[in-house]
């Protein structure tokens, strides 16, 4: 099972999508057009081990709400991610039981290596 969660209007997501050259059987989800369900998020949580790992701390809403100055519980982070797509760190690639979150060079390289196996 391969799933790719991304934002279709994000140039970084587009660049990484091109770089990864995902197999045709990858399920693609534009989180703006098809928001994450609670079930989807729970699956990502199980793979990542925390909601905080999935939280985009660079989003405008995160900054506008002053969330960096607050101590957020895992439940609060879960609710934020379900509330608005911008709180999900992107892109997220799931390959079987492995998860790759974000756009860091090493994360993208690891994802690429995993896909080439």
The domains located in the chain, with CATH, are: 2-115 (3.40.30.10)
CA distance linking residue 85 with residue 59, whole number of Å: 10
By the 10 Å C-beta count (0-12 exposed, 13-18 middle, 19+ buried), 23 is classed as exposed
The per-residue pLDDT for 62 is 96
The pLDDT of residue 42 = 98
C-alpha closest to that of 41 among 8, 1, 74: 74
Instruction: Give the pLDDT score at 117.
Output: 84
CA pair distance 29, 57, nearest whole angstrom? 21
CA distance 77 to 87: 9
Q: Can you tell me which residue has the tokens 């405008």?
A: 60
**What pLDDT, on the 0 to 100 scale, is given for residue 27?**
97
- Tens place of pLDDT for every residue, the chain, 117 residues? 999 999 999 999 999 999 999 999 999 999 999 999 999 999 999 999 999 999 999 999 999 999 999 999 999 999 999 999 999 999 999 999 999 999 999 999 999 999 998
Rounded Cα–Cα distance for residues 69 and 111 (Å): 32
Distances (CA, A) of 28 to 2, 21, 41, 79, 96: 9, 12, 15, 23, 14
pLDDT of 80: 97
């Amino acid at each position: 099972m391969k799933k790719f969660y991304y934002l279709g209007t994000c140039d970084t997501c587009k660049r990484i999508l091109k770089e990864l050259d995902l197999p045709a059987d990858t399920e693609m989800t534009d989180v703006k057009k098809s928001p994450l369900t609670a079930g989807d998020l729970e699956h990502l949580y199980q793979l990542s081990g925390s909601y905080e790992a999935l939280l985009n701390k660079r989003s405008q809403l995160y900054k506008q709400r002053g969330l960096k100055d607050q101590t957020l519980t895992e439940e609060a982070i879960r609710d934020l991610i379900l509330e608005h797509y911008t709180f999900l760190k992107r892109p997220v690639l799931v390959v079987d039981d492995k998860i790759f979150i974000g756009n860091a060079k090493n994360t993208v390289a690891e994802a690429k290596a995993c896909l080439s196996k």
